[in-house]
């Protein structure tokens, strides 16, 4: 079993990765470690930045050996907001600490009568401890609900209706969400890539 440093302190992401990739043993990014940079214009840029930054830091300060580093950059892209919040999803409305409030603000920003098309995008960057990073991605098409619904998941899940479903990611049971989500699709691609490298 590969032991992998997850370059994130997001408890929701850690839980999802543990469920989606049960064949990997995850070490969470330490609380006392620095924030990882996210200055790229694209999800792939940010995922690679975080993976490489975490690898470099862990090589100098890590407390246990790991086989590699996994970093994720993901976000919600809304057509009526010109693809926003996109790569800024995690930093959208920083004056509102609770996602339920951020979700309401995002919905309020939609122009009246605008199409509600949206997609979730996830890019994963994996690097071994000697370098050699690669990326995989996954996305899911859908639309925005008119109000937040459901207590499941995290982040923007309560306002995202995956295509072909009338329940938000926040309302869907996790096993059903894991069959549809952008992160699940990226994790499937990662599993395939890691298997091909053996």
Give the residue numbers marked as catalytic: 73
What is the three-class DSSP state of 170? coil
- For CA atoms 89, 95, 100, 105, give the dihedral sign: negative
CB-based contacts of 148, cutoff 8 Å, min separation 6: 100, 103, 104, 107, 158, 159, 168, 170
Question: 85 in helix, strand or coil?
Answer: strand
Q: In 3-state terms, the chain is what percent helix, strand and coil (to 5)?
A: 35, 25, 35
| Cβ proximity of 121 and 137 under 8 Å | yes
In whole angstroms, what is the distance from residue 119 CA to residue 101 CA?
20
The encoded tokens of residue 80 equal: 């009526």
Are the beta carbons of 122 and 186 closer than 8 angstroms?
yes
């Amino acid at each position: 079993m590969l032991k992998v440093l997850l370059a994130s302190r997001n408890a929701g992401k850690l839980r999802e990765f543990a469920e989606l990739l049960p064949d990997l043993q995850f070490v969470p990014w330490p609380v006392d470690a620095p924030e990882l940079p996210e200055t790229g214009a694209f999800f792939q840029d940010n995922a690679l930045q975080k993976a490489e930054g975490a690898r470099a830091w862990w090589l100098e300060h890590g407390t246990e050996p790991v086989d590699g580093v996994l970093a994720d950059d993901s976000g919600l892209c809304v057509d009526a907001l010109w693809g926003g919040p996109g790569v800024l999803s995690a930093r959208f409305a920083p004056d509102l600490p609770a996602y339920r409030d951020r979700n309401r603000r995002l919905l309020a920003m939609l122009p009246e009568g605008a199409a509600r098309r949206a997609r979730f995008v996830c890019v994963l960057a994996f690097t071994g401890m000697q370098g050699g990073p690669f990326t995989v991605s996954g996305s899911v098409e859908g639309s925005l609900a008119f109000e937040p619904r459901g207590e499941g998941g995290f982040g923007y899940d309560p306002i995202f209706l995956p295509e072909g479903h009338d329940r938000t990611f926040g309302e869907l049971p996790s096993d059903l969400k894991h069959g549809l989500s952008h992160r699940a699709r990226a994790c499937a691609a990662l599993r395939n890539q890691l298997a091909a490298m053996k």
